[in-house]
């Protein structure tokens, strides 16, 4: 099978490409190396992807922008992908307040371009990367796919919800099979270096600085280990449901204070805690009901949070100096 992975130089995209390669699929990657975080980190991700090829040429990469329809046509014409895992996006909640129009351009217009291509080239299945952020600011847990998602609290969250709705329209009009996967805070070795709390705390602690906690530290996140996410992505890609939405989480909410504790254990040090005002875009809790993903996809997360953090720090220690000092 030939799979197009958009955002292949990113954190989740590179792992996804690697898992497809390891089981023998052909993978086409596209990414524009957006400067949201350092290109060197993305080039490093691609090195890991290339190393996981079973045979030379199994992975082909295009540097390009999903907003560029001509570029997409070139890729589709040359490669004829059978399935699409669409992960390219402007990710991250806080930055979406700084550049909302860019988030809409990439996450909506870029997605529209890919949906058009999928229809024109009769793609068999389209996986859309959505986010737990669509559930908005609420405290009743766990979050289920049938819950109301009409109150996103950031441009990023709104763009992801719009992506789900847009993909429904393409499914309805053209019969394109679509699965929207709502990822819950994905972490693990090579985690997106910017805008993620584990990365921030890890770098602060490594530098001997206090960790900066938003609010009183009771905010909870359902952290999901990267290979659990890729298990879900591959299962959804193979399953070919007509149109479905799935939560991919760990189904366990960890408080920010517990993140610090897990890092203290993994790094064998204690951290000074500094408490800052909580931005309004930071939702109080995320917590996935994953029973639907289990029933439809056999999705069962394997890696518990303490172990995942230990692995993330272990790899971080082996990274070059420039990587360790990337802006978090
Ligand atoms: N990491 C998480 O916790 C998380 C949670 C929920 C949803 N998601 C979604 O999963 C996907 C992957 O996230 P990630 O954490 O790997 O982020 P990432 O930033 O590491 O990966 C996204 C990639 O998309 C690329 N990209 C951005 N704009 C592009 C464009 N116009 N054309 C081509 N490529 C472009 C970037 O260069 C980057 O390499 C995103 O859609 C994100 O919204 C991530």
Kindly state if the Cβ of 222 falls inside 6 Å of ligand 1: no
Taking 90 as the threshold, does the pLDDT of residue 240 lie above it? no
DSSP secondary structure letters along 234-256:
HHHHHH--SEEEEEES-S--EEH
pLDDT in tens, 12-40: 999 999 999 999 999 999 999 999 999 99
As a whole number of angstroms, the distance between CA 138 and CA 142 comes to: 10
320: confidence class by pLDDT, cuts 50, 70, 90: very high
Taking 90 as the threshold, does the pLDDT of residue 227 lie above it? yes
Residues of the chain above pLDDT 90, percent: 97
pLDDT in tens, 148-164: 999 999 999 999 999 99
178 neighbors 128 (Cβ within 8 angstroms): yes
287 Cα–ligand 1 center, Å: 21
Which one from 15, 37, 156, 187 is the annotated catalytic residue? 156
Kindly state if the Cβ of 11 falls inside 6 Å of ligand 1: yes
Burial level of 317, CB count in 10 A (0-12/13-18/19+)?
Answer: exposed
pLDDT value for 174: 98
The backbone torsions φ and ψ at residue 86, rounded to the nearest 5 degrees and listed phi first, read -95, 100
Instruction: Kindly report the protein residue whose alpha carbon is nearest to atom 30 of ligand 1.
Output: 65
pLDDT value for 303: 98
Instruction: Kindly report the protein residue whose alpha carbon is nearest to atom 31 of ligand 1.
Output: 65
Q: Write b or e for each residue in 114-129: b if 16 or more Cβ atoms lie within 10 A of its Cβ, otherwise e.
A: bbbbbeebebebbbbb
As a whole number of angstroms, the distance between CA 152 and CA 147 comes to: 13
Of the residues 7, 126, 182, which should be mutated to test ligand 1's pocket, given the most ligand atoms within 8 Å of the CB?
A: 7
Domains of the chain, each with CATH number or no CATH: 2-191+224-251+285-302 (3.40.50.720)
User: Stretch 41-49: mean pLDDT, rounded?
Assistant: 98
268 Cα–ligand 1 center, Å: 31
Kindly state if the Cβ of 249 falls inside 6 Å of ligand 1: no
105 Cα–ligand 1 center, Å: 14
Kindly state if the Cβ of 86 falls inside 6 Å of ligand 1: no
Kindly state if the Cβ of 65 falls inside 6 Å of ligand 1: yes
CB atoms within 10 A of CB 72: 24
Instruction: Kindly report the protein residue whose alpha carbon is nearest to atom 34 of ligand 1.
Output: 31
As a whole number of angstroms, the distance between CA 180 and CA 296 comes to: 13
- Report the predicted TM-score, pTM, of the whole model to 2 decimal places: 0.98
pLDDT value for 161: 98
Residues of the chain above pLDDT 70, percent: 100
**Which atom of ligand 1 is least distant from the CA of 37?**
19
288 Cα–ligand 1 center, Å: 20
37 part of the active site: no
Chain centroid to CA 208: 29
pLDDT value for 281: 87
List, in order, residues 6 or more apart from 208 with CB less than 8 Å away.
none
List, in order, residues 6 or more apart from 190 with CB less than 8 Å away.
11, 14, 15, 41, 44, 45, 48, 226, 315
101: confidence class by pLDDT, cuts 50, 70, 90: very high
Q: Write b or e for each residue in 78-106: b if 16 or more Cβ atoms lie within 10 A of its Cβ, otherwise e.
A: ebebbbbbbbbbbbbbebbeeebebbbbb
Kindly state if the Cβ of 91 falls inside 6 Å of ligand 1: yes
Kindly state if the Cβ of 115 falls inside 6 Å of ligand 1: no
List, in order, residues 6 or more apart from 207 with CB less than 8 Å away.
none
Kindly state if the Cβ of 183 falls inside 6 Å of ligand 1: yes
pLDDT in tens, 48-91: 999 999 999 999 999 999 999 999 999 999 999 999 999 999 99
Query: How far is residue 38 from each of residues 10, 316, 322, 324, 327, measured CA to CA in Å?
Result: 11, 16, 10, 12, 9
91 Cα–ligand 1 center, Å: 5
pLDDT value for 265: 98
């Amino acid at each position: 099978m030939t799979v197009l992975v958009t955002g292949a130089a990113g954190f989740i995209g590179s792992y996804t490409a690697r898992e497809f390669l390891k089981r023998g699929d052909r993978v086409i990657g596209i990414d524009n190396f957006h400067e949201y975080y350092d290109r060197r980190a993305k080039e490093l991700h691609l090195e890991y992807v290339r190393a996981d090829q079973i045979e030379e040429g199994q992975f082909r990469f295009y540097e390009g922008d999903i907003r560029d329809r001509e570029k997409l046509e070139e890729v589709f014409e040359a490669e004829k992908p059978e399935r699409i895992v669409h992960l390219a996006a402007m990710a991250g909640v806080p930055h979406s307040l700084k550049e909302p129009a860019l988030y809409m351009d990439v996450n909506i217009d870029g997605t529209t371009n890919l949906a058009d291509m999928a229809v024109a080239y009769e793609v068999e299945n389209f996986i859309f990367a959505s986010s737990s952020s669509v559930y908005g600011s609420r405290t009743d847990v766990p979050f289920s796919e049938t819950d109301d998602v009409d109150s996103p609290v950031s441009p990023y969250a709104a763009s992801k919800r719009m992506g789900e709705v847009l993909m429904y329209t393409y499914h309805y009009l053209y019969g394109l099979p679509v699965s929207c996967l709502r990822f819950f805070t994905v972490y693990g070795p090579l985690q997106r270096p910017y805008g993620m709390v584990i990365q921030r705390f890890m770098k602060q602690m490594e530098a001997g600085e206090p960790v900066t906690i938003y609010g009183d530290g009771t905010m909870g996140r359902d952290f999901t280990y990267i290979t659990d996410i890729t298990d879900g992505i591959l299962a959804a890609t193979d399953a070919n449901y007509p149109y479905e939405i799935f939560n991919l989480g760990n189904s366990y909410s960890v408080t920010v204070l517990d993140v610090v504790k897990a890092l203290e254990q993994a790094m064998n040090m204690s951290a000074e805690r500094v408490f800052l005002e909580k931005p309004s875009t930071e939702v109080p809790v995320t917590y996935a009901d994953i029973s639907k993903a289990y029933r439809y996809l056999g999705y069962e997360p394997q890696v518990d949070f303490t172990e995942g953090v230990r692995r993330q720090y272990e790899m971080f220690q082996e990274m070059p100096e420039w990587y360790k000092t990337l802006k978090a």
